Amino acid sequence: MKKVFFSLLAITLLQSSSPKKEQTPNIILIFMDDMGYGDLSCYGAVNYRTPNIDKLASEGIRFTNFLAAQAVCSASRAALLTGCYPNRIGISGALMPYSKNGINSNETTIAEMLKQKGYATGIFGKWHLGHHKEFLPLQHGFDEYVGLPYSNDMWPVYYDGKPATPNQNASTYPVLPLIQNNDKKEEIKTLDDQAKLTTLYTEKAVDFIRKNKKNPFFLYLPHSMPHVPIAVSDKFKGKSKQGLYADLMMEIDWSVGEIMKTLKENGLDKNTLVIFTSDNGPWLNFGNHAGSSGGFREGKGTSFEGGQRVPCIIRWKGTTPEGVVCNKLASTIDILPTIAQISGTELPKNKIDGVDILPLIKGDLSESPRKTFYYYYRKNSLEAVRMGNWKLVFEHKGRSYMNQLPGNDGFAGKAPEDILTPMALYDLRRDPSEQYDVQKLYPEIIAELQKIAEEAREDLGDDLTNRKGKNVRASGLID
């Protein structure tokens, strides 16, 4: 009997002393729409606070040099989910309700990648990678979907919230559908309907977490706002000192708080990686219904820092050090390969452009995983390249908000698309607002950046120099 007892004791001791298998973390990716660098209080916002998001930053890492892949809706989302520059996979601009293309089934999304490890996958919010059935989320790795198929301003409603008249461009749009899985659930017809979206997405996300608390899960929460038209629920209307936009940011902060509270209530707080970022900078010509670029030049739809530098907060309790600020260069295209490394999944077979930034997430700020970045815009125009803190902007015509009077209360001001930008070299360490051209001082830096640009043109092409890339792939296309 004693021998049996001691044998059982030995087995118990061996089991308790052997290393426990590390559990694959849950992943939550919160993706804002047109939220600028200066729209969170931990990034300098004034007259309102975002305490839940600030807490996320205090418990994790706040990036200050984080770039969206491109400063426009569909392109940015395609890049986030595939780890590729969007022009590599044939996605450009913002897909329209009459577009016939979307994400190609040959591309691997984060959701499809995580299916290798048995993750439950859900998306609640804006998709914008094609509205035809073959392009919708359930055909690209997601188990559940509730949200809008494209931007919330693609509807037959004018800026004043009233139905568009035949002489207004908005009248050409179909009614905005709210999709559940592959089918239209209902129609979004008024600003009051839009005011329900942030709460709806949040409630669906919370339900998804509770339902999958015993499984590894990937929750993608791409909010439809603060892309215009902005609308806020009654529980936050008039709560800020800065008007409707700030009210909305307070509601977004509430949403993050609900997510984090649900994780704690279900014992998931320590094993969930949370990423919070934005698809591009603010749509500045909408004035008080637009966000802040935080002092960077220009905004959405441009390759200046105000268009592509966005907030990014990553929090993974027990792995990310608390309250760290990371000034290293990183991008949304780096999220997929980083998640692959964390989850032990295989990278896509097709070439990607992202790099693994897990060392930065773990707090090793001596590392610099990303050395360069390509600023593409429009269909395939290489408008700038970056190496560390050096940025070379090439001559191009494009959008500018400078010297234009913005709109107000939901109406758009002018933002001409044909302003000529001359070639210039900027030292972003000293001049983050891109005001002082230093080409004449650093010809050797220009030579290095030109080599990087040439590599980009050979690989991905460049409409500005009439180059076709060797390694670009087509988007999906319906017959």
Catalytic residues: 73, 128
Distances (CA, A) of 447 to 385, 394, 438: 12, 13, 13
Show the tokens assigned to 47. Answer: 């007259």
Q: Are 194 and 183 in contact (CB under 8 A)?
A: no
98 burial via Cβ count (<10 Å: 0-12, 13-18, 19+)? exposed
Give 139's DSSP letter. Answer: G
272 bridge partner residues: 26
Q: Can you tell me which residue has the tokens 């950046």?
A: 449
Instruction: Quote the distance between the C-alpha of residue 342 and its chain's center.
Output: 19
Distance CA 257, CA 42 (A): 15
Question: Degrees (nearest 5) of the Cα angle 327, 328, 329?
Answer: 120
What is the distance between the alpha carbons of residues 294 and 278, in angstroms, rounded to a whole number? 14
325-328: long-range pairs with CB below 8 Å, 24+: 325/61, 325/62, 325/64, 326/61, 326/62, 326/63, 326/64, 326/65, 326/360, 326/365, 327/64, 327/65, 327/365, 328/63, 328/65, 328/360, 328/365, 328/367, 328/368, 328/369, 328/370
> Which tokens in the block code for residue 171?
């009248």
Among residues 72, 124, 361, which one has the least CA distance to residue 255? 124
CA distances from 350 to 108, 147, 159 (A): 8, 28, 42
Q: What is the enclosing helix (H) or strand (E) of 447?
A: helix 443-460
DSSP 163: B
The pairing of strands 61-63 and 324-326 is parallel
